[in-house]
């Protein structure tokens, strides 16, 4: 866009930099000069001093300085700020003029050159007459200078040159043209910068010095002007703090000016400029809150300063510009690192700018609606002699006139007319849309989706006003879904209404129909008369006629649209429109509902389609079709009703396909499912409802799944929550809300009509061939075929169970690992009605625990559904949980020959192994036989014969066996010595003859064998008799390879007298045996302690008497004396 | 004086909305709708800060002095909710609530 009257001047918006001109450089033809210039202006990064350079010829004429005013007494200013002033100090009046001159210190023609240089300086001084601009000289030299002080000629000549040019030493510079050009240049420009700052400092002082001459009555404008100038010079001096301070003062002074309709524009313009500078500097100083506060204050102060009512659009244009400029400043600050927040970001300012632009448009529309015959005034009152205004914000036809009275009202009228006519040519929409799109970009960035949508609606509407309907529709269509999904129906309706107008004006059939459908729907908040009108239009369109124009449309646009519609009618083809409704809220609602969540394959699948219209008038549809995931069913679910195009609204209540508004219509369908679909889901994938017919135009509403549109899920939720009682309806009618969509159903197999019985005797015993009798009986009316049995462990249980469970049909042989856990599809043949069959099944369970067994019987049967013959596969299954238990517990213990419990056995000393078999089975067990298999290390003392053959054990009974064993010395074996296995062969007592015997192998425990150095055993009779001699012989066997020293003593006992060695010490050679003979003489009857034998082995102190007592008897039963024998025994004594 | 009073469901659709009849209704609807952006942001910020989740009052979107107004409106809203015949989520159609809103819109604050 070209800059308009309202745009801020470039010189206001730029960053003011010190202005320095370079003269004496021939940048076109002289390569050295060119290089010097490039070093000055190329690559000016932020770290270089802020100077704007310009190359000018040495004799350049600078703007003339006006003669100094000695008194302000009679001076009356004509305006606040001249339009050229800022530019003058930015680009025309330099702070410093640099004269470049090629001169080496050892120049042979020094005198001539010196005076030429002086002349050049003089020329520059001439053209700067009256200004404080500094002059400096730079000598471009070919030689590298010597360090200061060493070159005597140089310092002499430098002094002479300064003298000749009337320069101070500080203003003469040397630029050796060597390798380090850029370095020298940077040093040079830093020096220039200092001179420039001094210049601006003096300028500020100069302006300030005027102040004392001013008086408050006539020089109000000058106060503002001077303050502004001081601030601007401060900026040029890069003293932004003072600049800000002075701008603030200037801002306050502007508002102190007496405002009147004639000068209000000038005041506002200047206030806007100063405000812009203040905000800009605040952002620069990283005090954004100050900027915002200043801007708010500015808007509050200026909001009401509208000025001339006839030109009030100018005020809005100005306001819009203020907001836009602030938005730009804010945005720029963000780009430089400022963080904005959701509630304070540039978007709001752009939005306000757009708002004022819209206001401007409205005002312009009412104020500038001159008749076409009104001509633009001639001569143009807006033209000035120079083409620009002298002062900012003044009227071109009365520049510099400060009087509040209009001297020439006629001229004023013409001027206003000219402005109004110019305003008429402004493309407001373009301005508004640009501002809105700026705002949209900002709100998108600061997470305001709804604000963004709102602005996009405004953009769409603006495009509509600008007659760019395509863009309008695109924007509106884009945001519609946001409002729809959040349920803001009022807003949606408003957007749809605009969209409908756009689509009408473009004669976009599909869009027109879609928007109409939704505007007629329940989400629309339109009044009924509007809905009626839209419905009528929709039907017209479907009958291939033109709709009536939408209200409030531009008359010219309507004419174009009518032509377009007429063209559409004559156009053939593409007259069927399919519209997916899931993304909007159409005026027909649809719900599909299967009667049940599953259907048996031998009954027809039934479902209803419910339809309800929300439009004001009844409407007739031409066709309804339902599609399924299995497309073969589609053909069965179509309703078509032939009607003529013009009957859409007629025959109101008759016919299935005529929907009465507000009433729910139920359409019933049924079909027979295919047997292949047993176990599968039948799903309604879509419902298509056609409106209109193919001869005219036809709209197909397409519901995905079992119906429902953008609003229905929320409605269903609300309906589900509600516990409001619904009014009673006639029997055949239902409440729409109470219908719940059921879009899929399962096809399941026909109900079997057979019985399956299982007979068995739980629990099962480990490893036995457990018998399960399956009885299948048919209760079908006809013969069933292909009966198959699947039986065994139910899949899906613990994997270990599968390994340890085996199933077979043959019980006569034991099954091993190779048998499966589940027998599948055992053909059993056919069964006639009422027939029964029996099948024996044997299960062998290797581990205890419970198992689930499955018996599954499948068969085929022919049946008829809806006069269709189908073959149904039916099945019935039974599961049973069987517990497996151990048949018996086997306990094994080792005892000494004295039946004393042994923790360890002693080498070569016989001991007893006792087995105890306790039946744990609830059923009687027959022990067929048992066997003891000894490990090689064990030997038997007597014969190993089973003592429990063919014993029958009832529950809780036990069978014991006892074996006498001996273990030779083996040395020290870690963990004991293996004993062997105990093998039991058994079966259930109730089992049939041919059922094999089960062998259970029990591994006998290991036993610890210990060697003892001395084995003692006693020979004594089984009982004694009082006063009868009782001979006892002790055998002492040395089991070691050593000679044993043995101390033996026999302690006396009250019950016995005895003869023999009472205390002895003897030696026993390795492997030999010593016998000790005693003759005990019992004195008392009864169970008596024998005189205890104490043996002490000198080499084996561990061999204690406790140990000894294990081998030898410690007591004996003494019978009383027989009567008959009395005398003889006395005699013997 | 209040110019527009709205109650919004947690799914962001209006349960009740009324504005002064003299001004453009749509303008207020848009204003209420766009202010939900700030509500959304506040709610998501609250989740982050792990403040006491039982405190459901978000505070004022923009500062105003009419704190009492919220309490009054909220009390009336609670009354609506307590009505056993009101189904939470339905648009509010209560005469008492209506009257209260009217009084708030007329009242000069």
Q: Is A1120 helix (H, G, I), strand (E, B) or coil?
A: coil
Nearest by CB: A718 against B26, B62, B90: B90
Residue from B33, B48, B88, B89 whose CB has the most chain A CBs within 10 Å, to mutate = B33
Give the C-alpha separation, A996 to A1006, whole Å: 31
Whether A75 and A11 map to the same domain: the answer is yes
How much is the average pLDDT of A872-880? 88
Whether A64 and A134 map to the same domain: the answer is yes
pLDDT at A302 over 90: yes
Cα–Cα distances (Å) from A1047 to A1019, A1078, A1101, in that order, read: 20, 16, 12
Compare all CA atoms of chain B with the CA of A494 and give the residue at the minimum distance: B26
pLDDT at B51 over 80: no
Closest Cα partner for A116 from A161, A156, A155?
Answer: A161
**A704: CB partners within 8 A, 6+ apart:** A580, A582, A685, A686
Q: What local confidence, expressed as pLDDT, does residue A644 receive?
A: 54
Q: Which residues of A touch B17 (CB under 8 A)?
A: 490
Q: Which residues of B touch A343 (CB under 8 A)?
A: 38, 61-62
List the structure tokens of A294. 């200043």
Query: For residue B70, what is the domain's CATH number?
Result: 3.30.450.70
Q: What local confidence, expressed as pLDDT, does residue A1 receive?
A: 39
Q: What local confidence, expressed as pLDDT, does residue A529 receive?
A: 92
pLDDT at A969 over 90: no
- Regarding pTM above 0.80, the answer is no
Q: What local confidence, expressed as pLDDT, does residue A1125 receive?
A: 55
Rg of chain B on CA atoms, in Å: 15
Secondary structure element (H or E) that encloses residue A97, with its range: strand A96-102
pLDDT at A8 over 50: yes
List the structure tokens of A210. 């005027």
pLDDT at A1111 over 70: yes
Measured in angstroms, the CA of A616 and the nearest CA of chain B are apart by 22
Residue at which a domain ends, from A865, A896, A917 = A865
Q: What local confidence, expressed as pLDDT, does residue A1050 receive?
A: 86
Per DSSP (E only), the strands in A595-711 are: 598-600, 605-613, 619-628, 638-640, 658-659, 664-671, 681-691, 698-704
**Interchain CB distance below 8 Å, B34 and A723:** no
Whether A1031 and A1102 map to the same domain: the answer is yes
Our count of domains for chain B comes to 1
Give the C-alpha separation, A241 to A238, whole Å: 9
Q: What local confidence, expressed as pLDDT, does residue B50 receive?
A: 56
The per-residue pLDDT for range B3-43, each reduced to its tens digit, is 888 888 888 899 999 888 877 888 889 988 988 888 888 88
Q: How confident is the model at residue A250 (pLDDT cuts 50, 70, 90)?
A: very high
B13 forms beta bridges with none
pLDDT at B47 over 70: no
Measured in angstroms, the CA of B37 and the nearest CA of chain A are apart by 5
How much is the average pLDDT of B40-57? 67
Measured in angstroms, the CA of B91 and the nearest CA of chain A are apart by 10
How much is the average pLDDT of A431-439? 95
DSSP state for residue A20 in the 8-state scheme:
E
pLDDT at A767 over 90: no
Whether A77 and A148 map to the same domain: the answer is yes
Nearest by CB: B87 against A342, A486, A724: A724
Query: For residue A210, what is the domain's CATH number?
Result: 3.40.50
How much is the average pLDDT of A1011-1033? 83
How much is the average pLDDT of A980-993? 85
> Which residue pairs from A536-541 have beta carbons closer than 8 angstroms and sit at least 24 positions apart in sequence?
A538/A513, A539/A619, A539/A648, A539/A649, A541/A509, A541/A512, A541/A513, A541/A516, A541/A697
The per-residue pLDDT for range A442-451, each reduced to its tens digit, is 999 998 999 9
Tell me the residue length of chain A: 1133
B8 touches chain A (CB under 8 A): no
Q: What local confidence, expressed as pLDDT, does residue A971 receive?
A: 65
Measured in angstroms, the CA of B74 and the nearest CA of chain A are apart by 22
**Interchain CB distance below 8 Å, B87 and A718:** yes
**Interchain CB distance below 8 Å, B25 and A490:** yes
**Interchain CB distance below 8 Å, A342 and B38:** yes
Nearest by CB: B87 against A457, A483, A721: A721
Pairs of CB atoms within 8 A across A/B = 60
A454 touches chain B (CB under 8 A): yes
Lowest-confidence region among A9-13, A353-357, A396-400, B66-70: B66-70
* Peptide bond before residue A268 is cis, with ω within 30 degrees of 0: no
Give the C-alpha separation, A602 to A780, whole Å: 14
How much is the average pLDDT of A1032-1053? 84
pLDDT at A2 over 60: no
pLDDT at A642 over 70: no
Nearest by CB: B37 against A449, A483, A494: A449
A409 within domain boundaries: no
The per-residue pLDDT for range A716-745, each reduced to its tens digit, is 888 877 777 777 777 777 888 888 889 999
Task: Give B98's Cβ-side CA count (13 Å radius).
Answer: 5
pLDDT at A1090 over 80: yes
A362 touches chain B (CB under 8 A): no
Helices and strands (H, E) in chain A, number of each type = 24, 45
Measured in angstroms, the CA of B90 and the nearest CA of chain A are apart by 7
DSSP state for residue A1027 in the 8-state scheme:
T
Measured in angstroms, the CA of A462 and the nearest CA of chain B are apart by 16
Q: Which residues of B touch A448 (CB under 8 A)?
A: 34, 37-38
Q: What local confidence, expressed as pLDDT, does residue A797 receive?
A: 83
CB A660 within 8 A of CB A645: no
Which structural domain, as residue segments, surrounds residue A908? 888-1010
CB A660 within 8 A of CB A724: no
Q: What local confidence, expressed as pLDDT, does residue A471 receive?
A: 95
A1035 within domain boundaries: yes
Q: Which residues of A touch B42 (CB under 8 A)?
A: none
Whether A984 and A1025 map to the same domain: the answer is no
Lowest-confidence region among A520-529, A1064-1073, B31-40, B67-76: B67-76
∠ CA(A331), CA(A332), CA(A337), 5° rounding? Answer: 95
Whether A781 and A904 map to the same domain: the answer is no
How much is the average pLDDT of A1046-1073? 85
A1088 forms beta bridges with A1116
Sign of CA dihedral A85, A86, A88, A89: positive
How much is the average pLDDT of A608-624? 89
pLDDT at A109 over 60: yes
Q: Which residues of A touch B40 (CB under 8 A)?
A: 447
Q: Which residues of B touch A486 (CB under 8 A)?
A: 11-13, 33
- Alpha helix stretches (DSSP H) within B1-109: 25-49, 67-82, 95-106
Q: How confident is the model at residue A931 (pLDDT cuts 50, 70, 90)?
A: confident
CB-count exposure of residue A325 (10 Å: 0-12, 13-18, 19+): buried
Q: What local confidence, expressed as pLDDT, does residue A74 receive?
A: 76
Q: Which residues in chain B (15-74) have CB-CB distances under 8 A to chain A?
A: 17, 25-26, 29-30, 33-34, 36-38, 40-41, 61-62
∠ CA(A313), CA(A319), CA(A323), 5° rounding? Answer: 145
Compare all CA atoms of chain B with the CA of A720 and give the residue at the minimum distance: B87
Cα–Cα distances (Å) from A207 to A17, A410, A609, in that order, read: 19, 40, 89
Query: For residue A1019, what is the domain's CATH number?
Result: 2.60.40.10
A486 touches chain B (CB under 8 A): yes
Q: Which residues in chain B (74-103) have CB-CB distances under 8 A to chain A?
A: 85, 87-90
Q: Is A503 helix (H, G, I), strand (E, B) or coil?
A: helix
Compare all CA atoms of chain B with the CA of A450 and give the residue at the minimum distance: B34
Give the C-alpha separation, A1095 to A1108, whole Å: 8
How much is the average pLDDT of A544-554? 87
CB-count exposure of residue A176 (10 Å: 0-12, 13-18, 19+): middle
Give the C-alpha separation, A442 to A332, whole Å: 12
Q: How confident is the model at residue A1083 (pLDDT cuts 50, 70, 90)?
A: confident
Lowest-confidence region among A142-146, A199-203, A369-373, A519-523: A142-146
Give the C-alpha separation, A616 to A272, whole Å: 56
How much is the average pLDDT of A692-709? 84
> Which residue pairs from A639-642 have beta carbons closer than 8 angstroms and sit at least 24 positions apart in sequence?
A639/A667
Which structural domain, as residue segments, surrounds residue B49? 4-108
pLDDT at A556 over 60: yes
Lowest-confidence region among A111-120, A328-337, A400-409, A1061-1070: A400-409
Whether A92 and A186 map to the same domain: the answer is yes
Residue from A351, A451, A495 whose CB has the most chain B CBs within 10 Å, to mutate = A451
Q: How confident is the model at residue A574 (pLDDT cuts 50, 70, 90)?
A: low
Neighbours of A810 (CB within 10 A): 11
Give the C-alpha separation, A1067 to A1083, whole Å: 33
Q: Which residues of B touch A717 (CB under 8 A)?
A: 89
Residue from B34, B60, B90 whose CB has the most chain A CBs within 10 Å, to mutate = B34
* Peptide bond before residue A650 is cis, with ω within 30 degrees of 0: no
Give the C-alpha separation, A442 to A323, whole Å: 14
Nearest by CB: A454 against B12, B34, B89: B34
List the structure tokens of A685. 């994938």
Measured in angstroms, the CA of A852 and the nearest CA of chain B are apart by 50
Q: What local confidence, expressed as pLDDT, does residue A965 receive?
A: 85
Nearest by CB: B13 against A448, A457, A486: A486
pLDDT at A573 over 80: no
Give the C-alpha separation, B91 to B109, whole Å: 27
Phi–psi pair at A744, nearest 5 degrees: -145, 155
Q: What local confidence, expressed as pLDDT, does residue A262 receive?
A: 86
Mean model confidence pLDDT for chain A: 87
The per-residue pLDDT for range A34-74, each reduced to its tens digit, is 988 988 888 788 888 899 999 998 888 888 887 777 777 77
**A178: CB partners within 8 A, 6+ apart:** A144
**Interchain CB distance below 8 Å, A454 and B38:** no
Compare all CA atoms of chain A with the CA of B36 and give the residue at the minimum distance: A450
Measured in angstroms, the CA of B60 and the nearest CA of chain A are apart by 12
Q: Which residues of B touch A340 (CB under 8 A)?
A: none
Q: How confident is the model at residue B54 (pLDDT cuts 50, 70, 90)?
A: low
Q: What local confidence, expressed as pLDDT, does residue B109 receive?
A: 45
Whether A44 and A184 map to the same domain: the answer is yes
Cα–Cα distances (Å) from A780 to A402, A836, A844, in that order, read: 116, 12, 34
Q: What local confidence, expressed as pLDDT, does residue A593 receive?
A: 92
A683 forms beta bridges with A744
Give the C-alpha separation, A575 to A580, whole Å: 16
Q: Pairing mode, if any, of strands A822-831 and A764-765?
A: unpaired
């Amino acid at each position: 866009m070209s800059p308009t009257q309202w745009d801020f001047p470039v010189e206001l918006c730029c960053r003011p930099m010190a202005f320095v001109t370079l003269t004496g450089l021939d940048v076109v033809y002289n390569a050295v000069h060119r290089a010097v210039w490039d070093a000055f202006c190329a690559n000016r990064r932020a770290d270089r001093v802020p100077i704007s350079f310009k190359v000018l010829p040495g004799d350049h004429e600078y703007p003339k300085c006006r003669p100094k005013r000695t008194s302000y007494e009679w001076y009356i200013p004509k305006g606040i700020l001249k339009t050229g002033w800022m530019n003058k100090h930015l680009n025309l009046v330099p702070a410093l003029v640099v004269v470049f001159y090629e001169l080496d210190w050892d120049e042979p023609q020094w005198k001539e050159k010196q005076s030429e240089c002086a002349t050049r300086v003089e020329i520059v001084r001439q053209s700067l007459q009256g200004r404080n601009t500094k002059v400096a000289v730079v000598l471009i030299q070919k030689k590298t200078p010597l360090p200061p002080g060493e070159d005597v000629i140089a310092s002499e000549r430098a002094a002479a040159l300064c003298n000749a040019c009337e320069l101070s030493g500080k203003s003469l510079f040397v630029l050796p043209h060597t390798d380090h050009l850029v370095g020298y240049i940077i040093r040079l420009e830093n020096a220039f910068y200092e001179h420039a700052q001094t210049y601006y400092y003096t300028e500020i002082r100069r302006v300030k010095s005027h102040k004392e001459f001013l008086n408050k009555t006539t020089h109000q404008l000058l106060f503002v002007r001077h303050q502004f100038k001081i601030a601007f010079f401060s900026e040029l001096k890069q003293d932004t703090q003072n600049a800000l301070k002075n701008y603030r003062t200037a801002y306050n002074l502007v508002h102190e000016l007496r405002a009147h309709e004639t000068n209000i524009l000038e005041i506002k313009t200047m206030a806007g400029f100063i405000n812009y500078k203040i905000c800009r500097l605040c952002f620069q100083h990283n005090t954004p809150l100050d900027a915002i506060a200043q801007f708010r204050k500015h808007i509050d102060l200026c909001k009401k300063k509208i000025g001339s009512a006839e030109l009030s659009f100018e005020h809005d244009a100005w306001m819009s510009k203020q907001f836009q400029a602030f938005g730009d400043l804010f945005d720029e600050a963000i780009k430089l690192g400022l963080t904005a927040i959701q509630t304070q970001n540039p978007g709001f300012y752009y939005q306000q700018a757009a708002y004022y632009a819209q206001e401007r448009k409205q005002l312009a529309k009412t104020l500038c609606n001159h008749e076409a015959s009104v001509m633009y005034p001639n001569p143009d009152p807006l033209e000035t002699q120079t083409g620009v205004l002298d002062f900012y914000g003044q009227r071109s036809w009365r520049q510099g006139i400060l009087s509040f009275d209009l001297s020439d009202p006629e001229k004023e009228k013409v001027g206003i007319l000219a402005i109004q006519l110019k305003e008429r040519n402004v493309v407001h929409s373009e301005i508004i849309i640009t501002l809105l799109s700026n705002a949209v970009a900002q709100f998108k960035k600061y997470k305001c989706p709804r604000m963004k949508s709102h602005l996009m609606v405004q953009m769409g509407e603006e495009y509509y006003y600008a007659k760019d309907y395509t863009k309008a529709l695109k924007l509106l269509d884009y945001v519609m879904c946001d409002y729809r999904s959040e349920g803001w129906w009022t807003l949606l309706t408003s957007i749809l209404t605009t969209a409908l107008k756009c689509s009408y004006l473009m004669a976009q059939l599909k869009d027109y129909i879609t928007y109409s459908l939704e505007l007629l729907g329940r989400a629309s908040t339109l009044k009924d008369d509007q809905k009626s009108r839209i419905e009528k239009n929709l039907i017209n369109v479907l009958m291939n006629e033109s709709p009536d124009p939408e209200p409030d449309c531009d008359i010219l646009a309507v004419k174009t649209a009518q032509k377009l519609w007429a063209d559409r009618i004559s156009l053939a083809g593409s007259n069927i429109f399919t519209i997916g409704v899931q993304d909007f809220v159409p005026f027909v609602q649809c719900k599909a509902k299967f009667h049940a969540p599953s259907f048996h394959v031998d009954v027809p699948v039934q479902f209803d389609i419910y339809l309800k219209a929300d439009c004001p008038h009844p409407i007739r549809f031409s066709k309804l079709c339902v599609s399924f995931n299995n497309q073969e069913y589609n053909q069965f679910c179509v309703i078509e009703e032939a009607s003529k195009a013009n009957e859409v609204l007629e025959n109101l209540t008759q016919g299935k396909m005529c929907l009465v508004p507000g009433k729910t219509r139920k359409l019933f369908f049924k079909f027979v499912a295919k047997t292949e679909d047993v176990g599968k889901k039948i799903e309604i994938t879509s419902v298509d409802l056609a409106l209109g017919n193919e001869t005219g135009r036809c709209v197909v509403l397409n519901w995905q799944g079992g119906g429902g549109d953008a609003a229905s899920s929320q409605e269903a939720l609300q309906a589900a929550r509600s516990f409001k009682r619904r009014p009673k309806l006639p029997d055949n009618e239902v409440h729409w809300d109470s219908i719940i969509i059921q879009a899929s159903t399962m096809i399941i197999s026909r109900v079997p009509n057979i019985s399956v019985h299982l007979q068995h005797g739980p629990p099962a015993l480990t490893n036995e061939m457990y018998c399960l009798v399956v009885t299948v009986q048919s209760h079908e009316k006809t013969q069933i075929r292909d009966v198959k049995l699947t039986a065994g462990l139910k899949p899906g249980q613990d994997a270990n169970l599968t390994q340890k469970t085996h199933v077979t049909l043959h019980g006569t042989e034991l099954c091993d690992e190779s048998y499966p856990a589940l027998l599948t599809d055992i053909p059993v043949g056919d069964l006639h009605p009422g027939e029964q069959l029996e099948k024996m099944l044997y299960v062998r369970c290797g581990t205890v625990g419970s198992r689930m067994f499955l018996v599954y019987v499948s068969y085929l049967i022919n049946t008829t559904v809806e006069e269709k013959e189908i073959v149904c596969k039916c099945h019935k299954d039974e599961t049973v949980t069987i517990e497996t238990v151990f048949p018996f517990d086997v306990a094994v213990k080792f005892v000494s020959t004295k039946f004393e419990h042994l923790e360890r056995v002693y080498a070569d000393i016989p001991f007893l192994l006792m087995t105890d078999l306790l039946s744990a089975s609830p059923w009687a067990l027959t022990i067929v036989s048992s066997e003891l298999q000894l490990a090689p290390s064990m030997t038997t003392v007597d014969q190993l014969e089973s003592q429990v053959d063919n014993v029958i054990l009832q529950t809780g009974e036990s069978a014991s066996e006892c074996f006498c064993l001996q273990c030779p010395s083996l040395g020290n074996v870690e963990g004991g010595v293996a004993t062997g296995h105990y093998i039991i062969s058994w079966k259930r007592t109730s089992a049939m003859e041919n059922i094999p015997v089960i062998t259970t192998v029990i591994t006998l425990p290991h036993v610890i064998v210990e060697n003892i150095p001395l084995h003692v055993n006693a020979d004594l009779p089984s009982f004694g008799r009082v006063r009868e001699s009782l001979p006892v012989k002790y055998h002492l066997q040395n089991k070691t390879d050593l000679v044993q020293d043995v101390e033996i003593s026999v302690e006396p006992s009250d019950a016995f007298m005895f003869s023999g060695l009472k205390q002895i010490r003897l030696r026993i050679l390795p492997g030999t045996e010593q016998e000790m003979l005693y003759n005990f003489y019992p004195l008392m009857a009864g169970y008596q302690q024998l005189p205890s034998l104490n043996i002490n082995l000198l080499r084996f102190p561990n061999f204690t008497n406790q140990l000894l007592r294990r081998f030898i008897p410690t007591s004996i039963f003494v019978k009383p004396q027989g009567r008959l024998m009395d005398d003889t025994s006395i005699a013997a004594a | 004086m209040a110019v527009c009073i709205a109650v919004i469901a947690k799914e962001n659709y209006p349960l009740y909305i009324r504005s002064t009849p003299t001004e453009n209704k749509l303008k207020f609807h848009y204003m209420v709708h766009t202010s939900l952006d700030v509500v959304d942001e506040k709610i998501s910020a609250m989740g982050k800060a792990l403040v006491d989740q039982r405190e459901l009052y978000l505070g004022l979107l923009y500062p105003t002095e009419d704190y009492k107004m919220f309490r009054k409106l909220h009390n009336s809203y609670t009354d609506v909710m307590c009505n056993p015949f009101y189904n939470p989520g339905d648009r509010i159609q209560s005469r008492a609530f209506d009257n209260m809103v009217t009084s708030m819109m007329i009242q000069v604050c």
